[in-house]
């Protein structure tokens, strides 16, 4: 992927239409001219891809030794003293000619073309074209449209062979599944026969096609561009936080387009993020509050439902104490809502049993308390250490960015993973470790030793030595998440603690849930308070305004569910969380929901968890409300509201406020602004980040917290309003220091694997049984069937054949499924996707074990 050239202080001066302009060395004339206000028409040129000079629309005159000659402005780099003419009769004639030529075979079926109204071919024909054609013959005809994939359709007659889609597939996505096929007048874009363009990024080709040749099934014939309204927002389908334009027609979301945010997504979106708006439009949304009457959930008014929820919670608290209520979830919520819920939980309900992660993440301190890197930092780092999930499946656009950086030689990737990932083929080193033993491997990487030829965690000494060589340059960025959900997250935290000792190491957390990073920042985790502060450190600071806070750090989701399943925790609030599906020990989650006496669910759909609740409160979701969200870099960016929530659904912060009142508290919020003002005032990591700063034009791509200049260290506070200290004449309270990560103790060794068993490895697929995928008809069909991947050596050893059906036995469940040989899975391991509708690994996992072993045999 061609990045914008590095900004350099040296400039090259060139003359464009008689005006001298400063250009960046190495950039193409078309880019330099555009930055200086001269727009040269183009079709094939795209600033985020390498030039090809394919369409000739950008012909300009460039002076050479033999005078002015026509040259493609997208393919000629600037040079000192270069003279360029873009508006001469010769250029005009060339433009006329190119357009007349392109239109020779173009069907001009604009009235029924989705691109009509926003089509570069229409627009540039109007501005630069001849207005007449000399072509009177019959045009080409093709069968139309053809499916390049389930999502992308191609009308070949409209294609102008600009090579954008095919270049994107190869250069940017790394999925060269579409190509020019044929030659001359019969050239077409196509796939290999019966091998669809099934790329996670296919929707981008539709967006960058300069004509209506490529259309996406969810949008085709749904609207005319001039009927669409749009607002800019941030995708929250994962934690990358790509910038999007959210478009609606009438009251329905119609389409998302990628917006080019330089530090984040470069204009690209993944197909899940692009098309899962269908779930927002779904008819199955919960549109009214529901209250349980016997076995049934009955529609109720907000008043009744809130009263029922408040009464249930108050009764439990009265009977069993404050620690008897727990809150799970919150990663779906925007920052303001997460803050309101954190305040409700920790102040009004007085419980610290609060966790926005579902056992699939990392301890809050490991996310918040390690030096943070941005995506750009990672792409420029001498080396990136990947200690996390398959980014292609979980954080797709981060995968694109890192892939591009590796392909362009800007960084080197060292991967620590228990199964091969999308980035493995681009990695300088990929160390396949035995599940559960990653901390040992990290130690060997950082400390060396371990003997000349002793394997560590199943990785050879030679491979470790080679990787040590790669990271010896220092200043590594560690992409930190959960490589597998079938091993303890604490082993990864331990490894992170070890890697933190590498000189100059910084961390980019790779947790995927929507706004999980914002929710952690806002204190929706045990033992932390808003603004990346430990409960103990922030008690005084927050206590002055908020009153009493929980005395002790609470339980995480595993702890909450275990306690609830034992009947020792009596009320659960599920904040957009579906632990019965998403928690890596589904059985435990189901027992917990059944075991808790009283369950309140704040959700957009009835899920396997929320349908067992006593009260269900309908929440407004993405694009139905404003607010801010925080991506994995800690970048806060704004969400846009485009449509109104269905029925009487409310934003989550309003639900929190109203519930607080009925519980005898008052959060003191009457608008998103009032919440943000309190966040800015109280949350140390967000100090200085005012609404005005966030809405400024310079903050379009979001703002990374904490702000560099913000007084985030423990400094004497002189700001009256901050602590309200002076009014009461008490000693001022210092703004607490940000949390830091204390490397956990070395855990015991994992149990040895017996020779009949395989150690389970699991992670998410991009298309799985997540609500947003299941409720988006265009995506639901893309979900694959679960297959067990095993090293060919083990397959042989167990006398099994690839493609065969096997019986898989684990203490929790037995399932019959297909097994395939995969050399990317280390010996002794077996890899199975976590959350597919059929044969999910989630059913197998016992969350109380450090590792989970399974046995397989022929059926």
For ligand SF4, the binding residues (CB under 6 A) are: 159-165, 189, 209-211, 213-214, 235, 237-238, 240-242, 265, 269-270, 272-273, 396-397
User: Is residue 534 classed exposed, middle or buried when 0-12, 13-18 and 19+ CB atoms within 10 A define those classes?
Assistant: buried
What, of ligand SF4, ligand FES, another protein, none, does residue 182 touch, CB below 5 to 8 Å by kind? Answer: another protein
Output the CA–CA distances (angstroms, integers) from residue 322 to 307, 318, 319, 660, in the order listed.
19, 8, 9, 15
* Region of 175-183, 589-597, 740-748, 843-851 interacting with another protein (CB under 8 A): 175-183
Q: Which is nearer to ligand FES, 34 or 377 (CB)?
A: 34
**By CB under 8 A, residue 52 contacts another protein:** no
Residue from 1, 16, 31, 56 in contact with ligand FES (CB under 6 A): 56
* Region of 102-110, 189-197, 526-534, 550-558 interacting with another protein (CB under 8 A): 189-197
Query: By the 8 A CB rule, do 162 and 44 touch?
Result: yes
What, of another protein, ligand SF4, ligand FES, none, does residue 58 touch, CB below 5 to 8 Å by kind? Answer: ligand FES
Helices 652-662 and 302-320, interaxial angle, to 10°?
60
Phi first, then psi: give them for residue 51, nearest 5 degrees. -70, 150
Q: By rule CB under 8 A, what count of residues binds another protein? A: 16
Query: By the 8 A CB rule, do 61 and 70 touch?
Result: yes
What, of ligand SF4, another protein, ligand FES, none, does residue 177 touch, CB below 5 to 8 Å by kind? Answer: another protein
* Sheet with 243-249, edge to edge strand ranges: 229-234, 243-249, 252-258
Within 193-222, the residues that bind another protein by CB under 8 A are 193-195
Nearest to 265 by CA among 286, 238, 303, 283: 238
Q: Which is nearer to ligand SF4, 629 or 852 (CB)?
A: 629
Contacting residues for 597 by C-beta, under 8 A, at least 6 apart: 316, 570, 571
Residues 135-174, one symbol each (x = binds another protein by CB under 8 A, - = not), give -----------------------------------x----
Between CA 334 and CA 621 the distance in angstroms is 9
* Secondary structure class of 379 (helix, strand, coil): helix
Read out DSSP for 300-327?
A: --HHHHHHHHHHHHHHHHHHH-GGGEEE
* Region of 50-58, 397-405, 412-420, 742-750 interacting with ligand FES (CB under 6 A): 50-58
**By CB under 8 A, residue 181 contacts another protein:** yes
What, of ligand FES, another protein, ligand SF4, none, does residue 214 touch, CB below 5 to 8 Å by kind? Answer: ligand SF4
Between CA 308 and CA 319 the distance in angstroms is 16
Q: Which is nearer to another protein, 184 or 729 (CB)?
A: 184
Closest distance of CB 203 from ligand SF4, Å = 9
Closest distance of CB 328 from ligand SF4, Å = 22
Q: Which is nearer to ligand FES, 167 or 635 (CB)?
A: 167
Q: Which token pair is 307?
A: 């009263």
Q: Which is nearer to ligand FES, 72 or 174 (CB)?
A: 72
What, of ligand FES, ligand SF4, another protein, none, does residue 53 touch, CB below 5 to 8 Å by kind? Answer: ligand FES
Closest distance of CB 150 from another protein, Å = 17
Is the Cα torsion angle 334, 340, 345, 349 positive or negative in sign? negative
Q: Which is nearer to ligand FES, 125 or 254 (CB)?
A: 125
Strands 412-417 and 383-387: parallel
Closest distance of CB 621 from ligand FES, Å = 40
Between CA 315 and CA 324 the distance in angstroms is 10
* Region of 43-51, 130-138, 434-442, 557-565 interacting with ligand FES (CB under 6 A): 43-51
Closest distance of CB 72 from another protein, Å = 22
* Sheet with 627-630, edge to edge strand ranges: 627-630, 635-639, 703-704
Query: By the 8 A CB rule, do 270 and 200 touch?
Result: yes
DSSP assignment letter at 242: -
**By CB under 6 A, residue 74 contacts ligand FES:** yes
Between CA 399 and CA 598 the distance in angstroms is 41
**By CB under 6 A, residue 43 contacts ligand FES:** yes
What, of ligand FES, ligand SF4, another protein, none, does residue 159 touch, CB below 5 to 8 Å by kind? Answer: ligand SF4
Which residues make up the interface to another protein (CB under 8 A)?
A: 170, 175-183, 190-195
Which residues make up the interface to ligand FES (CB under 6 A)?
A: 42-45, 53-58, 72, 74-75
């Amino acid at each position: 992927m061609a990045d914008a050239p590095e900004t350099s202080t040296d400039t090259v001066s060139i003359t464009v239409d008689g005006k001298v302009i400063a250009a960046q060395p190495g950039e193409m004339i078309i880019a330099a001219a555009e930055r200086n206000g001269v727009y040269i028409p183009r079709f094939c040129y795209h600033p985020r891809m390498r030039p090809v000079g394919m369409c000739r629309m950008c012909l300009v005159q460039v002076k050479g030794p033999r005078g002015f000659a026509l040259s493609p402005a997208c393919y000629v780099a600037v040079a000192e003293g270069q003279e360029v003419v873009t508006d001469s009769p010769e250029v005009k004639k060339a433009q006329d000619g190119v357009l007349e030529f392109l239109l020779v075979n173009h069907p001009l079926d604009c009235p029924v073309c989705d691109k009509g109204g926003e089509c570069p071919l229409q627009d540039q024909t109007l501005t630069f074209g001849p207005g007449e054609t000399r072509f009177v013959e019959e045009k080409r005809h093709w069968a139309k449209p053809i499916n390049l994939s389930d999502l992308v359709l191609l009308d070949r007659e409209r294609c102008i062979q600009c090579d954008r889609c095919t270049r994107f597939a190869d250069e940017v996505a790394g999925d060269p599944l579409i190509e020019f096929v044929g030659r001359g007048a019969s050239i077409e874009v196509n796939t290999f026969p019966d091998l669809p363009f099934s790329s996670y990024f296919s929707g981008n080709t539709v967006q960058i096609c300069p004509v209506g040749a490529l259309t996406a099934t969810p949008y085709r014939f749904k609207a005319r561009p001039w009927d669409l309204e749009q607002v800019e927002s941030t995708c929250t389908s994962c934690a990358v936080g790509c910038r999007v334009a959210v478009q609606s027609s009438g009251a329905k979301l119609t389409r998302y387009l990628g917006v080019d945010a330089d530090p984040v997504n470069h204009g690209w979106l993944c197909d899940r993020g692009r098309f899962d708006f269908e779930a927002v439009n779904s008819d199955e949304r919960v549109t009214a509050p529901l209250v349980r009457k016997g076995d049934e959930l009955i529609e109720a008014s907000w008043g009744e439902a809130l009263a029922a929820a408040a009464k249930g919670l108050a009764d439990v608290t009265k009977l069993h104490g404050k620690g008897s209520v727990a809150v799970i979830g919150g990663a779906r919520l925007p920052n303001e809502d997460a803050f309101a819920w954190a305040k409700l939980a920790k102040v009004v309900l007085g419980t610290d049993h609060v966790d926005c992660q579902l056992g699939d993440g990392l301890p809050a301190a490991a996310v918040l308390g390690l030096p943070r890197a941005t995506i750009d930092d990672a792409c420029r780092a001498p080396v990136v250490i990947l200690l996390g999930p398959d980014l292609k499946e979980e954080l797709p656009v981060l995968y694109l960015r890192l892939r591009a950086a590796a392909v362009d030689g800007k960084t080197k990737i060292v991967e620590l993973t228990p199964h091969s990932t999308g980035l493995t083929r681009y990695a300088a080193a990929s160390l396949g470790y035995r599940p559960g033993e990653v901390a040992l491997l990290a130690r060997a990487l950082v400390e060396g030793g371990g003997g000349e030829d002793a394997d560590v965690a199943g990785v050879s000494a030679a491979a470790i030595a080679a990787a040590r060589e790669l990271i010896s340059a220092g200043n590594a960025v560690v992409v930190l998440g959960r490589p597998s959900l079938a091993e303890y997250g604490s082993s990864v935290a331990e490894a992170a603690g070890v890697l933190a000792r590498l000189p100059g190491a910084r961390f980019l957390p790779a947790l995927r849930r929507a706004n999980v990073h914002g929710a952690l920042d806002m204190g929706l985790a045990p033992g932390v308070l808003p603004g990346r502060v430990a409960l103990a450190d922030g008690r005084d600071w927050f206590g002055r305004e908020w009153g009493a806070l929980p005395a002790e750090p609470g339980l995480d989701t595993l702890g909450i569910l275990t306690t609830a399943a034992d009947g020792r925790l009596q009320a659960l609030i599920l904040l957009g969380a579906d632990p019965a599906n998403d928690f890596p020990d589904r059985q435990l989650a189901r027992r917990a929901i059944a075991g808790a006496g009283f369950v309140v669910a704040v959700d957009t759909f009835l899920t396997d968890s929320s349908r067992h609740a006593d009260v269900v409160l309908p929440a407004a979701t993405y694009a139905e409300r404003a607010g801010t969200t925080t991506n994995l870099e800690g970048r806060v960016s704004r969400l846009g509201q485009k449509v109104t929530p269905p029925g009487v659904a409310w934003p989550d912060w309003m639900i929190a406020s109203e519930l607080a009142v009925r519980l005898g508290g008052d959060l003191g919020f009457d608008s998103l602004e009032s919440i943000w003002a309190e966040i800015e005032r109280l949350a140390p990591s967000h100090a200085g980040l005012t609404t005005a700063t966030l809405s400024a034009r310079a903050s379009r791509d979001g703002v990374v917290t904490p702000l560099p200049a913000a007084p985030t260290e423990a400094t004497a506070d002189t700001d009256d309003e901050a602590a309200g200290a002076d009014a009461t004449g008490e000693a001022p309270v210092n703004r607490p220091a940000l949390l830091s990560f204390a490397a956990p103790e070395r855990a015991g060794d994992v149990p040895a694997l017996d020779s009949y068993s395989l150690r389970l490895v699991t992670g998410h697929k991009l298309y799985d049984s997540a609500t947003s995928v299941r409720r988006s008809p265009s995506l639901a069909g893309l979900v694959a069937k679960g297959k067990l991947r095993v090293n060919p050596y083990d397959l042989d050893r167990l006398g099994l054949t690839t493609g065969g059906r096997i019986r898989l036995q684990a203490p929790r469940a037995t399932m019959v499924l297909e097994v395939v040989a995969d050399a990317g899975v280390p010996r002794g391991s077996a890899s199975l996707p976590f959350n597919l509708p059929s044969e999910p690994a989630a059913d197998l996992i016992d969350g109380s074990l450090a590792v989970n072993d399974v046995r397989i045999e022929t059926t």
